[in-house]
Amino acid sequence: MSNGTPGVNGVIYTYGRPVSDITGYKLNLLLHYRDRHSAASSDHPPSAVQGIELVWGVSKLGTKPLSQQFDDLWSKRKDPKSGQTMEQQAVQQVTQTIQSKLGSSKVIVTGGFPATGRLRSMFIPAYLGPGPSQPDLLVLSYWLPGASFTLGNFVTVTFDTELLVYTRYWPKVVVSADLTVCNSNISGADAGAQALLDVASVAAWFSGQPTNIFQGIEGMIDDTTEPVPNLGKLKEFLNLVSGIASPLGLVHFSATPDPSTSTLIMRLIHEVDPAPKVVSLAASSAPRLQGPVIRANPTQVHAGEQVSVRGSNFSPAAANSYEIEWSDDTVSSTLTESEIQWVEEGKPAQDAKHKTLSRKQWDNANHFNITDLRADTHYNVQVRDGDQLTWTDWAKFSIKTQKSASVDIALKSGSSTKSLGTATRDSSGQFEKKVTIPAGTVVGAHTLTASDSADSASTPLEVLGAGKSAKPKIYSVDSTGGVASVPVIVVVGAPLDLHGEGFRQGKVTLAIQGGPSLGTANAAADGSFTAKPTLSNHGNFTVVASQGSGPTGLQATLAVSALSQPT
């Protein structure tokens, strides 16, 4: 067939694409996706996916040629309301229109439409270029040439009819159709011909719209109707199978006539998703919003006593474990699982270990901590995501575990440094370790340090002389886990993370200096306490922690700046 304009001479305008006559062709449905156990995409029958098999079997579209489906729709299937076929109603409408134009119901009108037609097809792939994307488009042309109606013995009206069916498949099936009447001729007496210039009812039955669609002059009448409301089993099938196929990722389709088997092959296509993008959480170069900090508890101690050292925001430990994270936007269908594989570099692939994670869309579970690794060792790792039908490509990368997950803790005073041992940081970069201040350590101010190959942090520590007691002291801990600078900034109504030391075991009273009470806290046997009071007014205050009164009373203060809540 040659290119042309829709409705003219019964051809489809092809945009350079071939139009195929598929009269007598059956429909064959194939599901095109990459099987989970294969490296390449291939066709699968509907039975490969639960649900689609049932819809395909019930539709029986594969047992009768598509042209016969349209023949049944046109001249065999009766409308339940009128009890007439589409062809019979069209004849009735044309007859009534001609008689109304002549102003007489006594005029004998004879003739009709062909009972069967020819079927052609054309497939236009999705347009993915600049501008709005266009869907895949299958066009079916049901061609009914040679309709002829005679008025008495003096006027004959002839025309061809073409039903154009458009099937769009993104993101769900949309089926619409246009009825085109073309090549119309009115022959005979001019007076009779002029009375027949409007035969709108030919297509009004299809469209359900009581509007005129034939307009023109004697010898040629061409126009197009609104979409046809009912295309029978074809529309029903496509919409049913789309409801199953789209959530599975079968969101594209193609249609290819196969002359050797007289089949129109329709493929529902699942794209091959690219590999996810991987971010190594364990890498020392991974960005961090906060620097490493440590905190000592207590901050005043005698030589020979223990201090608890807490560290946070250090590099994640990656000597015997390695945490990875990957992007979560690579699956065109509903995410169901992720798979991680890893093997020591130089060892065969069959030695690889793997883990499959059960996933849900947007569950924020796109990370995994690989454990039981050897320190200072290279590993090959790969990650992929999957839906119900297929996997993405593998994201492949290499990691190298660190030599150690340890953090060195030391006590510095001037140029002197004393090692206090090591702590082991976890995969989040945190650690806690109790260390002993060596006997004979010089009394006075010291600096407690913690460091690894990439990070270091420090905090003040005071070593007390023999017989000296710790002074009452209160301080606040900020969001990083370190000691907050003074004045401590807090929002009205938010808790003030308060820590105290150097008190006697028992109740400690908390208050705003010259203001309201903030409650009480209980000091432990070592003289420490924690509390989280809240301030009800904004401004600059002094928080007082006190115990007893007079010469034996203990008291510590902390400057606080309370900010109003944001509006």
Condensed to tens digits (0 to 9), the pLDDT of residues 341-395 reads 999 999 999 999 999 999 998 898 999 999 999 999 999 999 999 999 999 999 9
- 283 pLDDT band, cuts 50/70/90, is low
Tell me if 273-468 shares its fold with 470-567: yes
User: DSSP assignment of 225-254, as one string?
Assistant: -SPPS--THHHHHHHHHHHHHGGGTEEEEE
Q: Does residue 65 surpass a pLDDT of 70?
A: yes
DSSP 8-state secondary structure symbol assigned to residue 514: T
Q: Specify burial of residue 428 (Cβ count, 10 A radius: 0-12, 13-18, 19+).
A: middle
- 254 pLDDT band, cuts 50/70/90, is confident
Q: What is the DSSP pairing of strand 20-21 with strand 26-34?
A: unpaired
Condensed to tens digits (0 to 9), the pLDDT of residues 8-37 reads 555 666 666 788 999 999 999 999 999 988
> How confident is the prediction for the chain on average, in pLDDT?
83
Name the phi and psi angles at 555, rounded to 5: -155, 140
Q: What is the DSSP pairing of strand 456-464 with strand 444-451?
A: antiparallel
Q: Specify burial of residue 39 (Cβ count, 10 A radius: 0-12, 13-18, 19+).
A: exposed
Rounded distance, CA 141 to CA 19, Å?
10
Q: Does residue 204 surpass a pLDDT of 80?
A: no
Condensed to tens digits (0 to 9), the pLDDT of residues 103-148 reads 677 778 888 889 999 999 988 887 655 556 667 788 888 888 888 8
Residue 506 confidence (pLDDT): 96
Residue 102 confidence (pLDDT): 66
Q: Does residue 215 surpass a pLDDT of 60?
A: no
Largest CA distance in the chain: 134
Q: Which amino acid is it at 118?
A: R
More confident: 306 or 132: 306
SS (H, E, C) 53-113: HHHHHHHCCCCCCHHHHHHHHHHHCECCCCCCEHHHHHHHHHHHHHHHHHCCCCCCEEEEC
CATH superfamily of 470-567: Immunoglobulins (2.60.40.10)
Q: Can you give the residue ranges of every domain in the chain?
A: 20-270, 273-468, 470-567
Residue 341 confidence (pLDDT): 97
- Written as six digits, the tokens of 363 are 């569950």
Residue 28 confidence (pLDDT): 95
Residue 509 confidence (pLDDT): 96
Task: List the end-to-end C-alpha distance of the chain, in Å, as a whole number.
Answer: 71
The pLDDT > 70 percentage for the chain reads: 82
The pLDDT > 90 percentage for the chain reads: 49
Residue 365 confidence (pLDDT): 92
Residue 307 confidence (pLDDT): 95
Residue 361 confidence (pLDDT): 85
Residue 160 confidence (pLDDT): 79
CATH code of 273-468, in short, is 2.60.40.10
